[in-house]
Amino acid sequence: MSINLYKSVFVQKIIRMGREKSQIRIISKIDNQLGRYILVGSINTLFSCFFYLILSQLGVYYIYAISITWCVGMLFSFKATGKWVFKNNDKTLLIKFIVLYCVIYLISIGLLKIGNSFLNNSSLSGIITIIITSGLSFLGNKHLVFITKQHKK
């Protein structure tokens, strides 16, 4: 009887270890994806700043310069996020991507207004808004735009 109990406890430990390992794999996958997302976002931000400065130095009106930069940055972000972050090169997802970014933009405007009314500090409100919308953007891209077969189940 004690041997059966030992085997049962031993088997339970193995099952528990297997579950823990699969949870660790899932977490590390999310961390890697999130890390790649942050890296792509950082590269896109640096590229956008550089591109905007070039257009400005060429004498392009600042509203046009930021608009062109925003469009080019969004296209770069679509390609890089799809390819490097979510391993999905489906070009037909561009419309979903653009819609998501328009929704995120509207949310950011709303959060900024709310933040400014409570904090009365546009810099702090902006930083908080960027952090929140970056997280929403990651989740939206992961679960609404670049959906993998695993997420469809």
pLDDT digits (tens, 9 = 90+) for 36-72: 999 999 999 999 999 999 999 999 998 899 999 999 9
Range of the domain at 34: 2-152
Dihedral angle computed from the Cα positions of residues 142, 136, 83 and 22, in that order, rounded to the nearest 10 degrees: -40
Domain count, the chain: 1
Q: What is the pTM of this model?
A: 0.70
Instruction: Cite the DSSP H helix spans in the chain.
Output: 2-57, 62-80, 94-119, 122-140, 149-152
Closest CA to 40 of 108, 141, 126: 141
SS3 53: helix
Count other Cβ atoms within 10 Å, centred on residue 34. 14
- Length of the chain in terms of residues written: 153
The rounded percent of the chain whose pLDDT value lies above 70 is: 76
